[in-house]
Chain A
Amino acid sequence: MATTTTNVGAPSDTARWMGIRVARPSLLGIVAYIVLVAVAVAILIPIGYAVLGGFKTNGQLAANPGQILPDPWVLENYEEVLVGKSAPTFWGEFGNSLLIAFISVTIAVVFASMAAFVFARMQFRGREALFTLFVFGLLFPTAVAILPLFILLRNLGLMGTPWGVALPQAAFALPLTIVILRPFFRSIPAELEDAARIDGCSSFAFFWRVLLPLARPALATVSVLAVVTTWNAFLLPLVVLNGAEQWTLPLGAQNFSTQYSSDQARVLAFTVVGIIPAIVFYAIAERQLVGGLTSGAVKG
């Protein structure tokens, strides 16, 4: 692995050599521990409620709302979402989410790495001004652009298409991606570029054959961040996707929850199955995600 400036994995590694002293149990330590456990419980309650609620019947949910474990456990709700009556809805929305995430993350990462390359390694007039233009995008809520964006997408004929969500989503992801990639690209030694030039590499060849392979950890980080943002996006899909067969998972979950508002057990099952991809993704890519967010923000 190449060395990385993006702090990936830094927290635990640094802690290992710095935190040699294991705190002796003190009154303060015990209070802290109680607070931590209380917060952990507060986090787990909604998640546990949803997961376990999916194994209950509506009768159980209504009769004993405070009961934690299902009695008896029923598999029906999850079955119905995964393979039963609601399965076409769920898997259709899953597919839409996947397609949109794929298009938008690919475009964002490819375009942003090209731009970050130029911003990091080339001298030209107006470079910092252009870079600032992209940074500007970090400072504003995307909601500001949503009404004119709607008009624009309608004029472009992109309403109700995956592209109508994926392209703006990629555009929104550009600032953060460029801001994270630029210092990384900059940290690759100039000697390497000179050597590549002498060996006859063009700028493009250097970018493609040397820089990108070296930047794999940083690319993983920005991709993970972009995937999570796109996967969870709500406002833009809500505006662009007007037919049920186009919906992404967050939109689908919201509509499912109003459509079957009397069938709460099924709503909970649908919701839980819908968040599994996010949780699995988090479990796999936790380091990139946390590393990316902290390197982007802590370094300013």
Chain B
Amino acid sequence: MTALSARTRGNGSGARRSKSLTIALFLLPALALYVLFVLIPIVQAGHYSLYKWNGLQPLTDFIGLKNYETALSSAPFRAAIGNNVLIIVLSLAIQIPFSLALAVMLNRRFPGRAVFRLLFFLPYVLSEAVTGIVFRLLLQPDAFVDSAMSTVGLGALVQDWFGDTNVVMITMFVIISWKYFGFHMILMLAGLQGIPKELEEAALIDGADKRQAFRHVTLPLLGPTIRVSVFLSMIGALQLFDMIWVMTAGGPLNASNTMAISMFKAGFKGTQMGYGSALAVILFLFSLVVALAYQRFVLRRDTEGALTTFGG
């Protein structure tokens, strides 16, 4: 280090200029790409959302917040918000605890453990489109699922899985969970394995039973991982598009509509770029709330104890 500073002291300004040049050259490609294709479009969405615009003519018809008023009073879009929120609530209430339970089961050693882990994560690698196609065929009336249910005596529970407006979102939730629980499980499994076994063992020696040790030792230490899982699950639920588009395109009667589907339809099917952009901004605001809550919550809690940060 001393040799280095002695060397640079000689031509200080030259070295500094070359350092700045290096920084600029190394940073510029990523920054340019990111600004051009991610940041500018997000800002542009805010801009377009203030116009009535079909995406082709010049941007002249300024209408202020009219698009937002229309959006918030539109029944299909309100249904979409409701559906996104429903998936968030169900994910947090069912999918995340379920993934945690499976992670706990897989955190013990038993024959076949690796196979289960590989298998449970598999749906995550499949594309949403393909998953949607297969489930669409599997769950169409009188196909495999209906027929199998009748065979085992559950025929009375058969539903029109995609056609019934009251059932379709539950169907979607099951399919979404099928696809993503493995991801959350893997996260939690990694989190569990980052917790030293000694801590739980110490609690057991001090007289806690297994459940108490899990509740008061393991679970709090797993907090950061669970929060990451919760956050990713919420962001994922907010941008739900691919699978639902493939299976129902938001139907029947907007019963499985989502914010992203409304936006896509407005922008590309209805050529209402201004209105679609307003929907994008609303989606953005929902994400912002989630992100800010997450940042606050996680930053405050996770910097408290050294054990809650997994190194790095």
Contact = CB atoms under 8 A, between A and B. Distances in A.
Contacts of B268: 150, 239
Interface in B32-57: 33-34, 36-42, 44-45, 48, 55
A251 B129 contact: yes
B33 A65 contact: no
Interface in A10-50: 10-12, 14-15, 18-19, 21-23, 29, 32-33, 35-36, 39-40, 42-47, 49-50
Contacts of B135: 46
A187 B218 CA distance: 28
Interface residues of B, number: 107
A143 interface: yes
Interface residues of A, number: 110
Contacts of B127: 231-232, 234, 249-250, 253, 274-275, 278
Contact of A171 (B36, B125, B178): B36
Contacts of A288: none
Contacts, number: 319
Contacts of A282: 121-122, 125
A209 interface: no
Interface string B122-142: 110111111111111110001
Contact of B120 (A40, A278, A299): A40
A298 B191 contact: yes
Nearest to B116: A36
Interface in A97-144: 107, 110-112, 114-115, 117-118, 122, 124, 130, 133-134, 137, 139-144
Interface string B241-277: 1100110000000000000100110011000010011
B280 interface: yes
A139 B287 contact: yes
Contacts of B30: 111-112, 114-115, 134, 174, 178
A228 interface: yes
Given A11-B190, A44-B119, A278-B126, A36 B102 contact: yes
A271 B126 CA distance: 11
Nearest to B129: A250
A162 to B, nearest CB: 15
B186 A12 contact: no
A267 interface: yes
Contacts of B108: 19, 23
B193 to A, nearest CB: 5
Interface stretch (B73-81, B87-95, B231-239): B231-239
B13 interface: no
Contacts of A235: 241-242, 260, 264
Contact of A145 (B42, B125, B310): B42
Given A151-B55, A152-B44, A235-B241, A66 B109 contact: no
A114 B27 contact: yes
Contacts of A72: none
Interface string A270-300: 0100110011011000100110011101111
Contacts of B159: none
Contacts of A12: 114
B26 A46 contact: no
Contact of B186 (A21, A290, A300): A290
A183 B312 contact: yes
B218 to A, nearest CB: 13
Contact of B183 (A35, A61, A293): A293
21 contacts: A12-B114, A14-B194, A111-B29, A118-B26, A139-B288, A140-B288, A144-B41, A144-B283, A146-B280, A147-B280, A149-B41, A152-B36, A174-B30, A174-B38, A204-B22, A232-B128, A234-B241, A257-B137, A275-B126, A279-B126, A300-B310
